[in-house]
Chains A and B, each alone.
Chain A
Amino acid sequence: MSKRAKALFLSFLSAATLLLVTGTAGADESTWNLNMPRGVTEVSQAAYDIHMIMMWICTVIGVLVFGFMFYVMFAHRKSRGVTAANFHENLTVEILWTVVPALILIVMAVPATTALLKVYDTDNPDIDIKVTGYQWKWQYEYIGEDVKFMSELRTSQDEQYGRSPKGEHYLREVTQPLVIPVNKKVRFLITGNDVIHSWWVPDFAVKRDAIPGLFTAAWAKTDQPGVYVGACTELCGKDHSRMPVVVEVKEEAEYAAWLAGKKEEAVLYKSTIGKQWTNEELMAKGEAVYGVSCAGCHQSAGEGIAGVFPALVGSSIVTGPIEDHIGILINGVAGSAMQSFADQLSEVDIAAVIHYKRNSWGNDVGDMVQPIDILNYKQNQ
């Protein structure tokens, strides 16, 4: 038995060590990933390096201690006819194995401190971006640029519930990614809107909690364009796993063009807000908005979830006076999951989704609401 025990222990240990070693080699897009990405920023590389140092120190200590233990388990078995010794203390070794680990710790504290100093070096940024966590999406605001948008999961409910095949970027795709330029120090000012979220981009080693009423800061600067995917890492309710972070790092010129485009979009949007929308246009737009922003709670056919999320079918708000319906989308319901959508959806989106709800799944109110009505409601309340 003990022989088999030893063999298994050893094979476990060697397998573990092997995994750690091969992990360093790191295959990029493998689904059998073993190790942390090295990342593309100074901070992420510092985090990676200290991670590897720690792992190797632990591996060496582990091999020494367990090696000795396995030797003992092999050599000092009763079945080999040994008799037990009777010693039970030795001051010298006891002092030794208190002091030596303490010294190792002191040595490790040096790189650990240097790495941490890098994390906190948020001074003198080139670009500031406010990141706000919402249940369950992110809002990005380019400070001083008048550019602000929501970034939501794009993966459909059908994919999530197995009604259609999952795409390559399942749960890693958003409506609009955050875009930043290369070689600029970007500072993220992170805060929360409702509950605590946490904004994480592994390749930047940026992870800061998004806490309502509090701002935290982190930074990134990279010379490698690309798309970097992250996640929310603080439990924030039911769709905690459905609010990915996607950051696109672009060359400077591309970034400038993108930013200009965003600003133009905003101006253009303001000019089309007065247009009269037809029933068909509103229904089509509304269905799309509903799928992304409402179906998560109120469910795809407006049936809701009893006791948690109210049904919209036959709801007194949805079939009642339109002002109340607009009001609830603009102002939300305090203390519930129904938030204010005034900042999150455009006037067009709000008008369309209201129209859609009032005229779907058996609801048949038949009235019309135009984007301009929403704008007026906001301004004149």
Chain B
Amino acid sequence: MAHGPSENFFSRWLFSTNHKDIGTLYLWFSFAMFLLGGAFAMVIRAELFQPGMQLIKPEFFNQMTTMHGLVMVFGAIMPAFVGLANWMIPMMIGAPDMALPRMNNLSFWILPFAFAILVSTLFMEGGGPNFGWTFYAPLSTTYAPDTVNYFIFGVHIMGASSIMGSINIIATVMNMRAPGMTYMKMPLFVWTWVITAFLLVAVMPVLAGAVTMMLMDINFGTSFFDAAGGGDPVLFQHVFWFFGHPEVYIIILPAFGVVSQIIPTFSRKPLFGYSSMVYATASIAFLSFIVWAHHMFTVGMPIAGELYFMYATMLIAVPTGVKVFNWVTTMYKGALTFETPMLFSIAFVILFTFGGFTGMMLSIAAADTQYHDTYFVVAHFHYVMVAGAVFSGTAAVYYWLPKWCGRMYDETMGKVQFWIAFIAFNITFMPQHFLGLAGMPRRYSDYGLQFADWNMVSSIGAFLYGGAQLLFLYNVIRTIGWGKPIDDPKVWDGAEGLEWTLPTPAPFHTFSTPPVVK
């Protein structure tokens, strides 16, 4: 079976069962979705540049906020990390490919269809989904546009894709490790992904259940979420967040893994507290199942419930703190250099921690009464999601791209991109904390004059941040096509792990005979 990729472009990419090709497909797809979701964000920020409705109608604005959230979470961030997993996990554990290559092909190729369906609703009569990415009933059921059925169908396909992708990762890691690669020797990126995969298998079906109940309420006269028929709209929120809270950790855990690979490399020192990192990741995953209702502090739960969810949520700070301390201590007494992947990783640690601080503030139920559903929350989760997932994803691409294509990216351009992104990110989202505290609710298509100044600052930052992504795209294309060729297997002098023992660029098939790990 030792042959190269198919010569025919279509059969190579459409029928690919090669983990590297599928990884590449996932990464390009996610970048395309990232640009699309980013374009939606630009529309939002352009409309919010000034008070008053200048560019779009309020109903279209709601479609934009909804689609921005859905596309970014399900189209950009999750596939990006699945792509990285496809590329790196077999190389990191010494496996020749993923365990279930044909399913791997299927789980990728249904994704473009899911998003084609979802995005096409924007052009249909009645417009696309306009009920927020959290799609609370009854706004998303009784009061939804007719296109909600396409939305539900799209979510089902995405869910199926994620579940198949996760099963593949679980099977690969459980069965295909090289001899001697014990669980506690696996790179942290592999660890975080296995835990993520288990989370996905557990909660994506819950999301599927939530949208199925919606579907039945809308089309078949049941009343899961309709109080008139004995249901309860609050039940929807419980089911949604039972999925939704693990979901945010699904997004952030692989990011932890990436950063835990990069910081040791550029510190030239092994990761500090490897086993505590593993345990911390596992406990964060566990905690994610028992804190969901902290998203619902204003629905009027009994005080006992509110206290419980507050305490449980505060607990998350402990394992998360352990991770941050470990990263910082890994750098301590290392020999640090600051190449682009390291810059993005350090920015990740700082900004993610900042998002963690606001997260702790949000966990305090009495204060959350004031923060809930304001721009403070928007700022909080963009610090965690953008600075967390997107920064670490960018770091990962810069870190592994030379290995993938055997060409070096332009370091200066990478650093320029980093500084623009870092500064623009903070210009965009730091003021949103102030807006939220001053009283601006989220998902507002228009606002009072007292919020005008910070909104303008935030919009300017957003445009800059969007520009930085175009620079990223350019740098990646330039590297693949015209970058300086390299052939050092290690690429980075401090890099450790099986993937760096392979030739650069990584050949189409690797580890056909498993390496032995001492």
Contact = CB atoms under 8 A, between A and B. Distances in A.
Direct A–B contact in the complex, CB atoms closer than 8 angstroms? yes
Interface stretch (B167-175, B193-201, B329-337, B402-410): B329-337
Given A116-B366, A166-B449, A214-B232, 9 more contacts: A19-B434, A31-B453, A58-B361, A84-B333, A105-B318, A112-B314, A112-B365, A116-B307, A116-B365
Contact of A115 (B274, B298, B366): B366
Nearest to B450: A31
Contacts of B373: 198, 207, 233-234
Nearest to A171: B448
Contacts of B182: none
Interface stretch (A73-81, A264-272, A357-365): A73-81
Contact of A89 (B51, B272, B423): B272
Contacts of B370: 36, 44, 47-48, 51, 202, 205, 207
A98 B318 contact: yes
B62 A235 contact: yes
Interface stretch (B148-156, B345-353, B387-395): B345-353
A273 B424 CA distance: 61
A231 B439 contact: yes
Interface string B220-260: 00000001100011100000000000000000000000000
B303 A117 contact: yes
A78 B337 CA distance: 6
Given A46-B366, A159-B52, A308-B126, A88 B273 contact: yes
Nearest to A200: B441
B81 interface: no
B211 to A, nearest CB: 18
A69 B349 contact: yes
A184 to B, nearest CB: 21
Given A12-B426, A31-B451, A237-B62, A335 B142 contact: yes
Contacts of B354: 16, 62
Interface of B: 51-54, 57-59, 62, 125-127, 130-132, 136, 138-139, 142-143, 145, 227-228, 232-234, 267-276, 298-300, 303, 306-307, 310-311, 314-315, 317-318, 321-322, 324-325, 328-338, 343, 346, 349-350, 353-354, 357-358, 360-361, 364-367, 369-370, 372-374, 415, 419, 422-423, 426, 430, 434, 437-454, 494
A233 B372 contact: yes
Give 6 nearest A-B pairs by CB, closest first. A213-B227, A216-B300, A115-B366, A307-B125, A33-B438, A241-B444
Interface stretch (A1-9, A254-262, A275-283, A316-324): A1-9
Contact of B335 (A62, A76, A206, A244): A76
B419 A8 contact: yes
A171 B125 contact: no
Contacts of A332: none
A31 B357 CA distance: 25
A113 B142 CA distance: 38
Contact of A211 (B233, B321, B369, B426): B233
Contact of B232 (A82, A159, A213, A241): A213
Nearest to A135: B143
Contacts of A72: 328, 331-334, 336
A1 B331 contact: no
Nearest to A78: B335
A331 to B, nearest CB: 16
Given A78-B335, A85-B334, A235-B62, A240 B321 contact: no
A196 B136 contact: yes
Contact of B298 (A61, A208, A237, A307): A208
Nearest to B270: A88
A62 B361 CA distance: 14
A168 B449 contact: yes
A234 B365 CA distance: 17
B270 A236 contact: no
B424 to A, nearest CB: 12
B13 to A, nearest CB: 37
8 contacts: A78-B337, A88-B269, A90-B273, A109-B310, A115-B366, A120-B303, A196-B233, A240-B441
B336 A194 contact: no
A301 interface: no
A143 interface: no
Contacts of B310: 109, 112-113, 116
Given A54-B364, A88-B269, A196 B138 contact: yes
A68 interface: yes
Contacts of A118: 366
Given A34-B434, A76-B335, A237 B139 contact: yes
Contacts of B325: 65, 93, 97
A113 B314 CA distance: 12
Nearest to B444: A241
A interface, over-half SS? mixed
Given A198-B298, A235-B62, A102 B318 contact: yes
B271 A160 contact: no
Given A50-B367, A88-B271, A235 B139 contact: yes
B138 A194 contact: yes
A39 B297 CA distance: 20
A88 B274 contact: yes
A44 B232 CA distance: 30
Given A195-B139, A234-B136, A241-B445, A116 B303 contact: yes
A337 interface: yes
A70 to B, nearest CB: 10
Contacts of B419: 8
Contacts of A169: 448
Interface string A202-241: 1001111101111011000000000001111111111111
A32 B234 contact: no
Given A47-B366, A88-B273, A232 B143 contact: no
A337 B143 contact: yes
Contacts of B333: 72, 76, 82, 84-85, 87
B397 to A, nearest CB: 20
Contact of A78 (B268, B330, B365, B438): B268
Given A72-B336, A89-B273, A160 B446 contact: yes
Nearest to B59: A238
Nearest to B226: A213
A171 B446 contact: yes
A101 B321 contact: yes
A208 B300 CA distance: 7
Contacts of B268: 78, 84
A292 to B, nearest CB: 16
A213 B335 contact: no
B180 to A, nearest CB: 19
B334 to A, nearest CB: 5
Nearest to B303: A120
Contacts of A68: 328, 332
Interface string A116-150: 11111000000000000001000000000000000
A169 B450 CA distance: 9
A115 B367 contact: yes
A236 to B, nearest CB: 7
A263 to B, nearest CB: 31
Contacts of B329: 93
